[in-house]
Chains A and B, each alone.
Chain A
């Protein structure tokens, strides 16, 4: 049945131990296409989240929460999953473990929780991993088509834009598609795009090649902190448009202002339900007060991921 699976899920199956792999292979192609998250916890049932619902998995397929036939993940299976996710190379993932997630080829993200090991009060690494949440990344070509015209000025140039949404509402997918459309000149004049992909989710670079479509004229700086990355791209690649995901730190804001002063447009995303929630965070309150963004896009999952709630003038 796995032969009928879409490519993203096939990529993820390689990172699961055989028992969990065979369970997931029982999903129908339609269910596999709708799958968004796989939640794995020791001594607990395997939880799957789809676009509109969540369900547990048993050997007979999807089952309700209290069904006695639910498959319970063993400690060994969780341990094996972590080993496979890390290519048996925990030592190579010190930075990722500090941040609490591993980015897999294809841009999929495996979030981890466990026991934090502290050094000078900050998280040094995680050990005794207790749960894994794998989020399936899917490029959706055309996801930003509806939004794009609302982000252009009268001369067809992009506005300085902030895309705001809660998790799983399509920020990253829309940002990736905007990069592709601006870069390839789809329905706009083509631009040289610089993309800072700190979490390797937007382009999913692998051996120097983007695994997800970000556009022909896009230069990707992979795994680099946003603030440094924006400055580096500005100096080295003469971009006309900069993109980055999930800003929120003080240094990100400084870099963003620097880019704006250099005449380069920027499209960024941030976590938040709406503009009111943003205003509660000092960094964004200041940015909004200074009118650093010309457009603020609020997304939600109301009608599915990527629902455009509002586009506000900044």
Chain B
């Protein structure tokens, strides 16, 4: 009886580990999608409504889904009035996000330097450039998800079964 219980537990643990790996791939796609939505919303707030940067960042957070904490944090840092520029607030918010890896951090630092410093057209151009790069990253992340999700699932359950057979 205890052997059976142990086997079930091993199988479940391996399955969950595989599922976790798949979820990580999905999260990255969702994060990249959220970032694009946020950047798009920020660009629209700037070019159509000329909304102030702190407010524009907070509004972009509402559209940014999984990436909302980044925009919200940057907006809040600016609102605190500690003498930070928009670029510095953005940099700090990017550094504070645990979900971002090195590649994404580098990509997101692109619009930071000139954030809020130029006219609407130029702001929109910079943000659009960043959004395009995020879109490319999302396409890659999606193809990686499609490529590896089934592999991870099969490997995790299969690996679990092999381990159980081996131990038995």
Task: State how many angstroms separate the Cβ of A304 from the closest Cβ of chain B.
Answer: 33
Interface positions of A from 1 to 46, Cβ below 8 Å from B? 14, 16-18, 21
Q: List 18 A-B contacts (CB under 8 A).
A: A80-B85, A83-B116, A83-B117, A87-B52, A87-B53, A88-B53, A88-B78, A88-B85, A89-B53, A90-B116, A91-B46, A91-B47, A91-B116, A91-B119, A91-B120, A92-B51, A92-B53, A125-B119
Q: Which residues of A contact B120 (CB under 8 A)?
A: 91, 94
Known: A88-B53, A89-B116, A125-B119. A83 touches B85 (CB 8 A): yes
Known: A88-B78, A91-B119. A83 touches B86 (CB 8 A): yes
Known: A17-B83, A18-B82, A83-B86. A88 touches B50 (CB 8 A): no
Interface positions of B from 109 to 123, Cβ below 8 Å from A? 115-120, 122-123
> Besides the contacts A14-B81, A88-B116, A89-B53, what 17 more A-B pairs have beta carbons closer than 8 Å?
A16-B83, A83-B116, A83-B117, A87-B52, A87-B53, A88-B87, A88-B117, A89-B52, A89-B56, A90-B119, A91-B50, A91-B123, A92-B46, A92-B50, A92-B51, A92-B52, A125-B119
Q: Which residues of A contact B78 (CB under 8 A)?
A: 87-88
Once A and B bind, how many residue pairs between them come within 8 Å at the CB atom?
Answer: 60
B41 within 8 A of A: no
Interface string of B43-77 (1 = CB under 8 A from A): 00011001111101000000000000000000000
In the complex, which range does the number of interface residues on chain B fall in?
20 to 34
- B83, A18: Cβ atoms closer than 8 Å: yes
Interface positions of B (Cβ within 8 A of A): 46-47, 50-54, 56, 78, 81-83, 85-87, 89, 115-120, 122-123
